[in-house]
């Protein structure tokens, strides 16, 4: 494809928690870089995934779930959503098509309407919708509310219609040269990606009470031995009782989390790593500015 027709730009996902943004990003980029879990509010970093095709390059900015501000942490997450919206060329509104429209969906729709940006509507989880005819009223509703550039039903989980979605997105980006090199998939520091992977394993193996009180920081990434980097991650919790939950009986849970995270990290880096996890109790870390800065959650 000639350079005059190559398109490139920034694209942000917005949607309610649990819509499947991280799952779709992982699908599109083809590597596990965003934390995925079945518990809402797992995405705390604006992780970028980069897809380069013959027709163009898309730089994805993943945003945290849109929700009502509460803790300082949540307020920062909301401002991250607004920043992401202002800095992109195209929005992708992700909607879980298997559930009925609620106030949260209307709130997200308002964000799109007020953004002044063009947007693609993605109706996700169509594998859960037995009667595909049931999608029609949803499509009608959204079309009436906003002039979406495209409406694309997908199943992020099964990887259905993903390539079509990439093409539909590229079509609406400005013409221009690639923003990143072809081999790059993310501009997030490797430390952040590693921490996200550890966090994902914690969420997958602990109960409801843990996700919101946990943060992971990569404290050291030692490449003295380039064949086998040594990685030290701190897991923040708020109370000793939460530390006990994460460590598990005889340390079994933490070992399991470490083994699974190490597996993913080794896959990503293509080499063996030494991974050490520590659990630290820091009371009320979610409201401490210094801790939020250290963890990388920016204003």
Ligand X SMILES: Nc1nc2c(ncn2[C@@H]2O[C@H](COP(=O)(O)OP(=O)(O)OP(=O)(O)O)[C@@H](O)[C@H]2O)c(=O)[nH]1
DSSP 64: P
Q: What is the bridge-based pairing of β-strands 150-153 and 90-96?
A: unpaired
The C-alpha atoms of residue 84 and residue 79 are separated, in whole angstroms, by 9
Query: Which residue lies nearer to ligand X by CB, 7 or 32?
Result: 32
CA distances, 279 to each of 144, 246, 257, 298 (Å): 50, 8, 12, 23
Q: Residues 112-151: x/- map of binding to ligand X (CB under 6 A)?
A: ------------xx-xx-----------------------
Query: Which residue lies nearer to ligand X by CB, 93 or 265?
Result: 93
295: Cβ contacts below 8 Å, ≥ 6 apart: 44, 215, 217, 236, 285
For ligand X, the binding residue among 7, 8, 9, 23 (CB under 6 A) is: 23
4: Cβ contacts below 8 Å, ≥ 6 apart: 175
The reply on whether position 184 binds ligand X by CB under 6 A is no
For ligand X, the binding residue among 6, 12, 32, 43 (CB under 6 A) is: 43
The reply on whether position 42 binds ligand X by CB under 6 A is yes
CB of 158 to ligand X, least distance (A): 6
CB of 284 to ligand X, least distance (A): 22
Query: Which residue lies nearer to ligand X by CB, 77 or 273?
Result: 77
CA pseudo-torsion sign 94, 68, 212, 82: positive
Query: Which residue lies nearer to ligand X by CB, 202 or 231?
Result: 202
The reply on whether position 49 binds ligand X by CB under 6 A is no
Query: Which residue lies nearer to ligand X by CB, 22 or 52?
Result: 22
CB of 94 to ligand X, least distance (A): 6
The reply on whether position 40 binds ligand X by CB under 6 A is yes
The torsion angles phi and psi of 153, rounded to 5 degrees, stand at -80, 135
Which stretches of the chain are assigned E, i.e. beta strand? 7-15, 48-52, 56-62, 90-96, 118-124, 150-153, 215-222, 230-237, 274-281
The reply on whether position 57 binds ligand X by CB under 6 A is no
The reply on whether position 197 binds ligand X by CB under 6 A is no
166: Cβ contacts below 8 Å, ≥ 6 apart: 28, 51, 53, 58
Q: By CB under 6 A, how many residues form the interface with ligand X? A: 24
The reply on whether position 48 binds ligand X by CB under 6 A is no
Query: Which residue lies nearer to ligand X by CB, 198 or 231?
Result: 198
138: Cβ contacts below 8 Å, ≥ 6 apart: 95, 97, 101, 123
Judged by the rule CB under 6 A, the positions of this chain that interact with ligand X are 15, 17-23, 36-38, 40-43, 64-65, 124-125, 127-128, 155-157
């Amino acid at each position: 494809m000639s350079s005059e027709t190559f398109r490139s730009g920034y694209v942000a996902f917005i949607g309610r928690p649990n819509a499947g943004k991280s799952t779709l990003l992982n699908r599109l980029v083809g590597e596990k870089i965003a934390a995925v879990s079945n518990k809402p509010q797992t995405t705390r970093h604006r992780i970028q995934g980069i897809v380069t095709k013959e027709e163009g390059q898309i730089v994805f900015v993943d945003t945290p779930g849109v929700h009502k501000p509460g803790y300082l942490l949540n307020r920062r997450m909301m401002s991250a959503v607004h920043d992401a919206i202002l800095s992109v060329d195209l929005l992708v509104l992700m909607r879980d098509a298997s559930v009925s429209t609620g106030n949260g969906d209307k709130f997200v729709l308002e964000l799109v309407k007020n953004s002044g940006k063009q947007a693609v509507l993605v109706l996700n989880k169509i594998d859960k919708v037995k009667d595909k005819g049931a999608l029609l009223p949803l499509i009608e509703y959204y079309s009436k509310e906003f002039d979406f550039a495209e409406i694309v039903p997908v199943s992020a989980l099964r990887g259905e219609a993903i390539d079509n979605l990439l093409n539909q997105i590229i079509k609406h980006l400005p013409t221009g040269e690639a923003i990143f090199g072809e081999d790059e998939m993310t501009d997030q520091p490797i430390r952040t990606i590693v921490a996200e992977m550890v966090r994902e394993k914690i969420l997958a193996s602990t109960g409801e009470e843990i996700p919101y009180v946990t943060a992971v920081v990569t404290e050291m990434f030692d490449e003295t031995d380039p064949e086998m980097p040594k990685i030290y991650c701190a897991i923040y919790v708020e109370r000793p009782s939460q530390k006990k939950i994460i460590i598990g009986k005889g340390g079994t849970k933490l070992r399991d989390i470490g083994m699974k995270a190490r597996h993913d990290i080794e896959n990503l880096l293509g080499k063996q790593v030494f991974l050490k996890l520590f659990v630290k109790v820091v009371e009320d870390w979610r409201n401490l500015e210094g801790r939020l800065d250290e963890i990388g959650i920016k204003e």
